[in-house]
Amino acid sequence: MEISRCELYRRVWEVPLNKLAKEFGVSDVGMAKACRRHKIPTPPVGHWMKVAHGKPTLKPQLPGTPETMVVLEPEMHRSPEASGVAADEFSELKVKVRVAPEDLASFAAATQAQLLKAKAAAGPVYCKGPSVFNCSVSAGQVQRAVSLLDAIERALSEVGAKVVRGKDNSPLHIDVEGETVLFSLTEKYSRSSFIPESERKSPFPRYDYEYHFSGDLKLTIDGYFDGRKSWSDGVRERLDTKLAEVVLGLVAAGRAMRKRRQEREAEHRKWEEEARIRAEDESRQRKLRAFRSHFAHEAAAWFEHRQAVAYLEHLRNCAVGDEALPGPSVRWLEIAEACVASLDPLPTRLQLLRKGYEPGEWDAPFGSVLVDEALPTSPFVEGTLAPRGRPSWLNR
């Protein structure tokens, strides 16, 4: 239906939102969303209580254009497609609650037996475990709670789901297309503390609690997912008439959980791939840094060799003349020539380049491998030379 903003604004402040929504054939949540979407002020909490007692209230002005039309559609705030269940996927689903059934479904029967065994007390009776539903209600609501659970358990097979017993002390759960869904059924209550008559004269009295049960049951789906998570008894509609929504909500929750899990797994795979790429890049950078360092060392060794060759050649030209050199001088020049030859990395590098490199050899310390740090040995100078770079006269 269509209604102007001005008319809807007037009606919202004349009739409570839930009654007006029923009149228009939409949900109260959908009505509230329509008002927010079109910026129509709605009465705050406590407004109708003040009106009932004749107290004045503040009514804000309607902003914007009053003539703008507002479209209200039935069940506009409940979109089955948005919840993960197509509108026509389970269109024939009907869930009926049997009054005091004699043949309960297996897990509902086990839940009833455990609730009836619970000690009678002022507080709620509850059960939870691998073979019973998670339930916490007053003693007077046990039969109704079990009837609801029985209807849900029987209807799950129509949507491709089933109740599965928990393993290794894990709780009973619903299997929805391979995904685990947990839910609980509870009764709303409040409690107040008081001192028993027998404790009034005690210096440290013990407090007891008095529970006030509302008789309203609430079913809540556990877990973190996008979608509706709870259904409860309301003023206009009891939970017994919402069980088809509950069953579809369990299916939607399982699908939403699976989608969220798949998104998390895809995100983790993405993080792992990014970490692998970063690690490979860092490894390449380390190898390149090592390559540059070793190559610079090798180039420096080659330059040192060229200098040594030039210096040795200069010595020979200056020292060798018409007269022959003494024997020790000749031996010194032979040793110097051997040392100069050991400084040259070029022969080894050319041999390696022609031979080719095996995988993993590129990060080897090229300079220190190709340049021999040890002095060459000779039969007539064995053990007579000082370490390289240290003059022999310093060892005296």
Chain centre distance of CA 378: 71
- The burial of 150, by beta-carbon neighbours within 10 Å (0-12 exposed, 13-18 middle, 19 or more buried), is given as buried
pTM: 0.59
Stronger pLDDT, 337 or 379, i.e. the higher one: 337
pLDDT band at 276 (very low <50, low <70, confident <90, very high): very high
| pLDDT on residue 394 | 31
Show me where the domains of the chain are located. Answer: 1-78, 290-395
Which phi and psi (to 5°) does residue 79 adopt? -110, 105
Q: What is the DSSP letter of 137?
A: E
pLDDT band at 183 (very low <50, low <70, confident <90, very high): very high
Evaluate if residue 382 carries a pLDDT over 60: no
- pLDDT tens, position by position, 57-97: 888 888 888 778 888 876 554 444 445 675 567 777 888 88
Beta bridge partners of 181: 174
DSSP 170-239: PPPEEEETTEEE-EEEEEEEEEEEE--GGGTT-SSPPPEEEEEEEEEEEEEE-SS-SS--EEE--SS--G
Given a contact cutoff of 8 angstroms between Cβ atoms, the answer to whether 137 and 217 are in contact is: yes
What number is the average pLDDT over the span 246-256?
92
| pLDDT on residue 362 | 52
Residues 254 and 39: their CA atoms lie apart, in Å, by 35
| pLDDT on residue 197 | 82
Q: How many CA atoms lie within 13 A of 207 on its CB side?
A: 6
Given a contact cutoff of 8 angstroms between Cβ atoms, the answer to whether 304 and 373 are in contact is: no
As given in the structure block, the two tokens for residue 98 are: 């049997």
Given a contact cutoff of 8 angstroms between Cβ atoms, the answer to whether 191 and 211 are in contact is: yes
Closest CA to 352 of 367, 337, 339: 367
What number is the average pLDDT over the span 263-289?
93
Question: What value does the mean pLDDT of the chain take?
Answer: 82
| pLDDT on residue 29 | 82
